[in-house]
Amino acid sequence: MVIVGAGIGGGALASVLARNGLAVLLLEKETEYRDKVRGEWLAPWGVVEVQRLELYDRLREAGGHHVTWHRSYEDARDAIANPLNSIDLSGLIPDVPGPLCLGHPRMCRILSETAAESGVRVLRGINRLQIGPVEGGRRTVGFEHEGVRNTVAARLVVGADGRASQVRQQAGIALHRDPTHHLFAGLLVEGADGWPAERQVIGVEGDTHFLVFPQGGGRARLYVGYALDQHKRLAGPDAAARFLQEFRLHCLPESESLVKARPAGPCRSYGNEDSWTNSPAAPNVVLIGDAAGHNDPIIGQGLSITFRDVRLVSEVLLASDDWSLEAFSGYVEERRERMQRLRFSAMMTSELENEFGPEAEQRRACAREHALEDPTLRLWAFAALIGPDVLPAEAFGPRVRERLFAAA
């Protein structure tokens, strides 16, 4: 078997399969892991997936930090009416202390090392990848490594190579995407010792959507969401300094500790939208993680989605020798429904938190009022914490949106 992409999904899947006796070749184009300004918050339901994959202890040993409290702020109000105003994250799922925060490069590295320790052959710095047609029940995989051209024949090729997946493109699997709704900028900071290490926050003030996810030891990943027509707002060589000034917020206690923190990585902006494949599988090919389509990062589901993908695909591969396209039908159907529900949750979150001005403020006020009258209208928001599959299907329907925003 060949897995393309030695990031989080590829490293985790390779580790699980090799630990159970399968031979795996893991290919990675990068020679070192870089800060991608996302992919560092694992939801409680994603922690469950990591526990089931028996990788949780490795992530904790690598510095994984649990946050135990969530606080929301809306339009500089105390937001007592917000059903998600304050949540004890440690009590949502049994045996899960809360979301797990860990730097993306470190997580990639520990999972790649775990794969190698499990017996996986890991090749880094590969290029000129070529996925051949199916011949004799196998796919040929060609690539260059250290100047030498290599060709292997694999029963299965797993694409874990991210949003621009070469495996997906060469296997002829089409990717669909929504229009970009808004922009997100992120920055890792250190020296934020005055910020409570157990508390994450999300909120809106003026024309800024802000998020804080502490990683312990005075480090935190900060995000700012803003409108598309402000695409130059956090661009340029002084972006990090201006980014930190965005956290000089009236509604946010201890915000000065964030303003005074030191950049510990790049400041980058990117567009927020959903993408999807109608099926993340083709003959002798299966996709996981972002290669199979990603959720709008506004609700932070990327890691949890990937680890669920890893578990479901590994269960198919370890259950029997049947690795046919039909064998992955359960994974395909589950992922389709999962991503549709998360797409709805992200869309609602974007409308509530990443649109600004008088109309947006009125929409948020109406949503607060209607959710107080009927808390089931905000059930979709809990999908990002406890998982989309444990909530009723009607929590993600258009009728919910109509009622929540009525008279807005």
- Reply yes or no on whether the pLDDT at 83 is more than 60: no
Please determine, for residue 224, whether its predicted confidence score (pLDDT) is greater than 70. yes
Is the CB of residue 292 less than 8 Å from the CB of residue 309?
A: yes
Identify the band that residue 80 occupies on the pLDDT scale cut at 50, 70 and 90: very low
- CA-derived radius of gyration, the chain: 21
Q: Which residue has the tokens 């993600």?
A: 396
Q: Which residue, chain included where needed, has tokens 């389709």?
A: 336
Determine contact, residues 141/167, Cβ cutoff 8 Å. no
Which 3-state string (H, E, C) describes 296-347? Answer: CHHHCCHHHHHHHHHHHHHHHHHHCCCCCHHHHHHHHHHHHHHHHHHHHHHH
**What whole-number percentage of the chain has pLDDT above 90?**
91
What domains can you pick out in the chain, each with its CATH number?
Answer: 2-61+102-178+274-340 (3.50.50.60), 68-99+182-272 (3.30.9.10), 355-404 (no CATH)
**Over residues 160-187, mean pLDDT:** 97
State pTM to two decimals.
0.96
**Secondary structure of residue 127 in the 3-state scheme:** strand
Average pLDDT rounded to a whole number, residues 178-191? 96
Band (pLDDT 50/70/90 cuts) for residue 36 is confident
For 32, counting Cβ atoms within 10 Å of its Cβ (0-12 exposed, 13-18 middle, 19+ buried), the class is: exposed
| 225: pLDDT strictly greater than 70 | yes
Q: Mean pLDDT over all residues of the chain?
A: 94
More confident residue, 407 or 177: 177
pLDDT of residue 211: 97
Asked if 179 and 273 count as a contact pair (C-beta separation under 8 A), the reply is yes
Q: How many Å apart are CA 282 and CA 10, to the nearest integer?
A: 18
pLDDT at residue 85 is higher than 90: no
In residues, how long is the chain? 408
pLDDT reported for residue 75: 59
